[in-house]
Structure 1
Amino acid sequence: MKLSVQEEPFFPDGKIGHFTNQNQETGAIVSFLGKVRSDPENPLEYMLIEHYPGMTEKAIEKMMAEAIDRWNLIDCLVIHRYGKLTPGEDIVLVTTSSKHRKEAFEAANYLMDFLKSRAPFWKKEITQSGEAWVESKEIDEVALDRWK
């Protein structure tokens, strides 16, 4: 299990390649890469992501451990960025490995639903028309509820 909450960019190909090399005995590896996107109707200049060091890592590590136990994962990796990010930049990488694909997919979905709705990150979108904190969406809450 490896977690990195970092300001600097990461290189998904290298991270996934390293993870794959470390998990030779696995039957399935699933990766999700989240990127900063813009809205054509209100173009994003940049997104500011803030977090509380220590608290954020503790919360994510707890969910990673739960995913490992619940889906009998062999390994998992989460990288999440903070700071000033522009459209097209990578925000998050979640990679899971297990004996079977279903467990790897389920665990990756679970971790992303948690990261989207419950991980202690605060996101502010800065556009030409102003700035606003990103609120949790109902669809994200519904997605999280399915794991109860």
Structure 2
Amino acid sequence: MSTSTVLHAGISDEPLDLSHALDVVGNADCGAVVGFGGVVRNHDGGRQVDRLGYSAHPSASSIIAEIATEIAEKYDGVRIWVAHRTGPLEIGDPALVAAVASGHRGEAFAACSELVDTVKARAPIWKEQFFADGTVEWVGVDG
């Protein structure tokens, strides 16, 4: 039986805060608290990015929750918080925030890394990039 806990998992149209996620997962039983903040950068593929917009399929929140549950079942004793942002984002805004606490750093790092990679691979979320030259590109949308 797993002693892990998913404290939050889903989509947000409100700004995300890594320090909040770290505070939520922290616990007296946990000697390691690991966080990830994926923020909007000002370039992609050698082109200047002005801003982004994220859209999500209605199932995205439940898929992120399923992923968090899978990670919680795989890594015993972890506490998980994860969310992906939707809507318009500016350079420097957090788009994906994840935090994992555990008794030991190895489990915390491994669980957080796998959590982020799996959300990016499986969650039906699409990124619209607005470039400085006026062009727009969708990422994550299969034609």
TM-score range, shorter chain: 0.7 to 0.9
Instruction: Compare 116-125 and 35-44 and name the one that shifted more.
Output: 35-44
Q: 1:32 to 1:87 in 2, by over 3 A?
A: same
| Identity within the alignment, % | 27
More strand by share: 2
Report the alpha carbon displacement of residue 135 of structure 1 after superposing the two structures with TM.
4.2
| SS of the residue 1:24 aligns to | coil
Q: Is the 8 A contact 1:47 1:126 kept in 2?
A: yes
Q: 2:136 aligns with which of 131, 139, 146?
A: 131
CA distance in structure 2 between the aligned counterparts of 1:36 and 1:52, rounded to whole angstroms: 20
Structure 1's unaligned 5+ residue stretches are 137-148
Equivalent pairs, count: 133
1:48 paired with 2:57, answer no
CA distance in structure 1 between the aligned counterparts of 2:15 and 2:140, rounded to whole angstroms: 24
CA distance in structure 2 between the aligned counterparts of 1:26 and 1:59, rounded to whole angstroms: 26
Moved segments of 4+, more than 3 Å: none
- CA shift digits 1:105-124 (9 cap, x unpaired): 11101011112222110111
TM-score by length of structure 2 reads: 0.84
Aligned to 1:7: 13
Structure 2's unaligned 5+ residue stretches are 1-5
- CA shift digits 1:43-73 (9 cap, x unpaired): 11211100023x1111111111111111113
Q: CA RMSD in A?
A: 1.8
CA distance in structure 1 between the aligned counterparts of 2:47 and 2:130, rounded to whole angstroms: 10
TM-score by length of structure 1 reads: 0.81
CA distance in structure 2 between the aligned counterparts of 1:131 and 1:104, rounded to whole angstroms: 37
1:1-148 to 2 correspondences below 5 Å: 1=6, 2-20=8-26, 23-39=27-43, 41-53=46-58, 55-129=59-133, 130-135=135-140
More helix by share: 1
